[in-house]
Structure 1
């Protein structure tokens, strides 16, 4: 299946500190590519995989489930573990949910977690009907490209595949149930004006993980990694990684 131009995964080999970046639902690595390149230029080994069913067609994505997406980030995490002394995990939206799940499953093997507008809650009424709707609707209008910055565009599907979306509540339920296992340092970037993910997810994280650091983003919408506050995310995450790594970054 041909990829959308720009949807390719990204990998950069550098020092002993690695970071796994996870993109969002119906999105592509393009939404995190500037973040990945910033971290790579700062001496980190960076892995930014393409989740199965993403970056091709929404019809193909309808043949995938959350287990497929999680399996892909598991493989990327295992690869980084074999190369690096420290591994951090990070993600946008659904990617933030996947990063938190990695932290829950792998414990101390994850050195720290950075999430941007994470999605961990069933806060869209239509999704409650997805298990039924999937039998009569193949797709609904997409949620992509929620970006405030003029000229910035997210490479993502314009339709949301319903069968794939119907698998999300199970993932959210698992992640919420195991949040007590997230004992690693956690940095959360939260857009105060987000048209895709409601404040529920960050409110849950704030309550369940009170030691988490939360940075409010006042000049970005959902895809903040391509938006006006992107530089804050890049610099803040790099400083977070530098602070919590057990070995120095390869270079500044």
Structure 2
């Protein structure tokens, strides 16, 4: 299936500091593209891949699972590590969950984490019903475009494939066990009004990671997809400040050419 217009992966060849950005469940690189482009403007090397099963039609996601999504990001991280002195990982929602696993597994290869409304567990009846329900019903209503800004639109599926949702449930459990292995500096930005991931997830992540350098930011004006919402500029500013503190060369190398 062809990739939906706007859902294409994005890459920019910049300087010696890289950023890997991870989009969310049933979403696409479109939700993080403005953030990625702003980072590229500052001379950073940027990779924003399209996860397997995403960006086409929801039926394509039914045959993928969290191991496929993680493997794609693992490859991208290794590739960035070969050409960059420092690599930061950023993620939205499930992308934040996957970013935490990259940090837990790769240690010093990840210089810092920037997470926006990361997920940690399934809530409500879904967590109990999914193991059986996924064999009876192929999909459920979508979760895309939880955005307070009236003009904000997320390019994501209008249906949630339930086999993939069951795999997401498994991912949450795996990563929750690995959180104590996360020691990197952490910038956690989350929305008090989030209709997809409740604030309890951010609180649990903060309580379980071993990171000592932690900065928490509340995105008061945004819903779940804050990267396309009223706080989008603040996310960019906070992330550039975070990277600049840990990699002081950023902003001094000039903007590199390439795309």
TM category (shorter chain) comes to over 0.9
Asked if the contact 1:122–1:128 (Cα under 8 Å) also holds between the matched residues in 2, the reply is no
After TM superposition, give the deviation of residue 246 of structure 1 in Å. Answer: 6.3
Asked if the contact 2:94–2:119 (Cα under 8 Å) also holds between the matched residues in 1, the reply is yes
Tell me, what secondary structure is at the counterpart of 2:194?
coil
Q: Does 1:53 align with 2:56?
A: no
Aligned partners of 1:125, 1:19: CA distance in 2, in Å?
36
Tell me, what secondary structure is at the counterpart of 1:193?
coil
After TM superposition, give the deviation of residue 15 of structure 1 in Å. Answer: 0.1
After TM superposition, give the deviation of residue 181 of structure 1 in Å. Answer: 1.0
Q: Work out the number of aligned pairs and report it.
A: 252
Aligned partners of 1:3, 1:97: CA distance in 2, in Å?
24
- Calculate the TM-score normalised by the size of structure 2: 0.94
Aligned partners of 2:247, 2:183: CA distance in 1, in Å?
15
Aligned partners of 1:2, 1:177: CA distance in 2, in Å?
36
1:165 aligned residue = 165
More displaced 10-residue stretch of structure 1: 201-210 or 102-111: 201-210
Aligned-pair Cα RMSD in Å: 1.2
More displaced 10-residue stretch of structure 1: 51-60 or 209-218: 209-218
Tell me, what secondary structure is at the counterpart of 1:90?
strand
2:187 aligned residue = 187
Tell me, what secondary structure is at the counterpart of 2:197?
coil
Q: Does 1:16 align with 2:16?
A: yes
2:225 aligned residue = 223
User: Please, which runs of 5 or more residues in structure 2 have no aligned partner?
Assistant: none
More displaced 10-residue stretch of structure 1: 126-135 or 11-20: 126-135
After TM superposition, give the deviation of residue 247 of structure 1 in Å. Answer: 4.4
1:4 aligned residue = 4
Which whole-Å deviations, capped at 9, do the CAs of 1:29-62 have from their partners, x for residues lacking one? 0000000000000110000000000000100001
After TM superposition, give the deviation of residue 165 of structure 1 in Å. Answer: 0.5
1:140 aligned residue = 140
- Calculate the TM-score normalised by the size of structure 1: 0.97
1:115 aligned residue = 115
Which whole-Å deviations, capped at 9, do the CAs of 1:56-95 have from their partners, x for residues lacking one? 0100001100000000101110110111000000100000
1:73 aligned residue = 73
247 and 165 in structure 1: CA distance in 2 versus 1, 3 angstrom threshold: same
Q: Does 1:26 align with 2:32?
A: no
1:103 aligned residue = 103
Aligned partners of 2:249, 2:123: CA distance in 1, in Å?
40
